[in-house]
Structure 1
């Protein structure tokens, strides 16, 4: 290959670092009660399991403190923050005024405002990709030189968005369009923008825009695992040739987006209870079936939340065609689920140190692909992680423009 770019060198360093630690971050604690790393690093496993809930919460919000603790056993963790450090591309946010942000959650309003600030000035006609009600397009409208368009597959959202734009006099027009349609007619010379388009949706924008030589693409990718492919497939020729992380599954790459902004206390309690039930059922089904493998169970009806653990187990067993013994001690398995939840939370502390590196590694592949197609690319953050953990911004401009 030609002289390696800074983007390739960073991608390669992350690629090797992730590969070296694959046995730590690839097994999902929810499905793997006895990960190989726990036997390989028994003192580290004991350290994690000895943490009280207060310490766990502290490390969940301070990854660097955890890195400093675990570097005793994993010295390579010390380079983690350098590998994922990126510049801030944001400036003074320019959100829609609250009086005009109808149907727009406050956090989304702030995210769109920060995104808009990071990609100004706008030179080309803007197309809001997977636009919903066009909130991003309306946020960008005051800074655009011409009318803006948006593509959204849901006709109800399109109708609502167009009504909002008309009501407030915004030069925005949304169109009902499935962007994954193989017969999609691509307009010429657009600035494609996408705030948190998922998986194949943002990949279609990257590849399609590059093939049609759109002058600029600005996006914040999300939900990399939402793809029709059964495994991770790099876009760039360099990643395809040099990657040491072949064969990653959708479940593997889902780790990159498992961080969320803190939910309301009621939601956290219900999520925690559901996790206990599912882990309790997992232990139960392994014993009943005589098979020590995780068995995925679909989302349960909300009504079951009020019926207790036994009702959940009977529902899950019916779904998986498992016959439960008549003398089953459900209280035993509920206690088992509580113990496993404690273990999962502590094992996730370690695994989640690899979330951001995995995310940056995948987005750097997009950078390399666009560079291969003749774009100059900026990669950085457009807002603080407290506003959204999905705060990466990829901004690509055709090199000749």
Structure 2
């Protein structure tokens, strides 16, 4: 129906125009709300699909291969055991980096084996891309791969306004954002890193403030404000969940986060942030949430050889300690000094016994060379079990990512997510970008 407003008086025409404007604004708000609900439903549905799939297939991934002396599927699923036994160690390592091929191999035993790959593709959204100016002095003493990650993340951050860099390290990201026009405050708790950051900032004068503080303390409350946009590149575990809680509590304008090291949490069990995560029957231990971190793509040949040797020696020592103690239970070891790997297996075992405060003396009847060889054989068996687990690495990481996204979504943030750089630069390449509605 056509309404001829010209037929009305001036006051009535003004009233009708205002009424139409109000209706238009109402329609805009309604569509904005519907868009928000639709996106929330998409994130929620993806979370529920992954959640149910991970719960249904727990026996395939929720275990620790180190704890088992032989394949846990040897008797239960002999056909799968036979398939895995035919793979050499190099074939296992090559295959584990190709989720689609792993899914095809495991499809006879794991239904919807490609689900994780499909959900990952569906979650990919177009991230905002801002132009970033660089200067050669900005990446002084930053290796090429790390600098590419920093630039890639900076391109997803609005280049102006108040930026708070969380867990800044040497503040490379904050310095780049400040160089591009943002007013940056970088928070870091290690004094030596703060000092290095100040030295680097002096090379290219920029508008930034470096703050030496513990981000987990209450002192940071004054830095996360409604006017600030928080950024963090690979803040680990409790550090990135704490940041999200601070952002929501303060009603900050936004956050751009690339999470990392989900296992670095204070509790033995992961505490979900979202309501959907909290009601899930999936209980994740610290060991469970370390699963996504087991895939590496950046190690050189020397580093890979060291990892192979350390793994074999750890597994060999585990066989030794079970025999010495008469207890057939895995005994975890702390971080191994790299210098120790330059020695021999006997020195490694003596170090391990001392660190675990065990008084057992290695009897001369025990052939350490044979145990070392068995450790190498066991390493291959462990990697066969890890190959099956590898199918669930990315889906579990996406579950953790969606838990954070839904937490922000529930708090009224518009969230986009996607990969901010290539997987070859870093396996932790998923990004959460949220702006207050």
- How does the TM-score come out when normalised to structure 2? 0.85
Equivalent residues in 2 for 1:256-275 (5 A)? 256-275=292-311
Q: Shift in Å at residue 92 of structure 1?
A: 7.9
Query: Equivalents in 1 of 2:234, 2:322: separation in Å?
Result: 38
Give the superposed CA RMSD. Answer: 2.0
Q: Secondary structure at the match of 2:304?
A: helix
Query: Equivalents in 2 of 1:13, 1:390: separation in Å?
Result: 22
1:89 aligns with 2:117: no
Greater shift in the superposed pair: 213-222 or 68-77:
68-77
Residue number in structure 1 paired with 2:56: 20
Q: Shift in Å at residue 89 of structure 1?
A: 2.3
Greater shift in the superposed pair: 15-24 or 61-70:
61-70
Q: Which of these residues, 270, 283, 288, is aligned with residue 252 of structure 1?
A: 288
Q: 1:75 to 1:322 in 2, by over 3 A?
A: farther
Q: Which of these residues, 62, 74, 77, is aligned with residue 41 of structure 1?
A: 77
Query: Equivalents in 1 of 2:60, 2:368: separation in Å?
Result: 32
Greater shift in the superposed pair: 135-144 or 222-231:
135-144
Q: Shift in Å at residue 37 of structure 1?
A: 4.0
Greater shift in the superposed pair: 377-386 or 307-316:
307-316
Query: Equivalents in 2 of 1:245, 1:257: separation in Å?
Result: 19
Residue number in structure 1 paired with 2:178: 141
Equivalent residues in 2 for 1:73-88 (5 A)? 73-85=109-121, 86-87=123-124, 88=126
1:376 aligns with 2:384: no
Residue number in structure 1 paired with 2:387: 349
Q: 1:100 to 1:208 in 2, by over 3 A?
A: closer
Residue number in structure 1 paired with 2:371: 333
Residue number in structure 1 paired with 2:273: 235
Q: Shift in Å at residue 334 of structure 1?
A: 1.0
Query: Equivalents in 2 of 1:340, 1:90: separation in Å?
Result: 47
8 Å CA contact 1:95–1:112 kept in 2: the answer is no
Q: Which of these residues, 158, 161, 173, is aligned with residue 209 of structure 2?
A: 173
Q: 1:382 to 1:338 in 2, by over 3 A?
A: same
8 Å CA contact 2:213–2:219 kept in 1: the answer is no
Q: Shift in Å at residue 96 of structure 1?
A: 3.7
Equivalent residues in 2 for 1:2-401 (5 A)? 5-34=41-70, 36-85=72-121, 86-87=123-124, 88-89=126-127, 91=129, 94=132, 96-119=134-157, 121-144=158-181, 146-187=182-223, 188=225, 189-241=227-279, 243-246=280-283, 248-320=284-356, 321-323=358-360, 324-399=362-437
Query: Equivalents in 1 of 2:382, 2:410: separation in Å?
Result: 41
Q: Secondary structure at the match of 1:77?
A: coil
Q: 1:92 to 1:52 in 2, by over 3 A?
A: farther
8 Å CA contact 1:63–1:353 kept in 2: the answer is yes
Q: Shift in Å at residue 71 of structure 1?
A: 0.7
Greater shift in the superposed pair: 76-85 or 248-257:
76-85
Query: Equivalents in 2 of 1:37, 1:372: separation in Å?
Result: 41
Unmatched 5+ stretches in structure 1: none
Residue number in structure 1 paired with 2:11: none
Greater shift in the superposed pair: 152-161 or 366-375:
152-161
Q: Shift in Å at residue 35 of structure 1?
A: 5.2
Q: Shift in Å at residue 51 of structure 1?
A: 0.7
Q: Shift in Å at residue 70 of structure 1?
A: 1.3
Query: Equivalents in 2 of 1:245, 1:34: separation in Å?
Result: 26
8 Å CA contact 1:147–1:172 kept in 2: the answer is yes
Q: Secondary structure at the match of 1:292?
A: coil
Q: Shift in Å at residue 97 of structure 1?
A: 3.8
Unmatched 5+ stretches in structure 2: 1-36
Q: Secondary structure at the match of 1:118?
A: coil
Query: Equivalents in 2 of 1:149, 1:249: separation in Å?
Result: 34
Q: Secondary structure at the match of 1:196?
A: strand
8 Å CA contact 1:94–1:114 kept in 2: the answer is no
Q: Shift in Å at residue 345 of structure 1?
A: 1.8
Q: 1:34 to 1:90 in 2, by over 3 A?
A: farther
Residue number in structure 1 paired with 2:21: none
Q: 1:80 to 1:172 in 2, by over 3 A?
A: same
Q: 1:210 to 1:334 in 2, by over 3 A?
A: same
Q: Secondary structure at the match of 2:366?
A: coil
Give the greater-gyration-radius structure (CA).
2
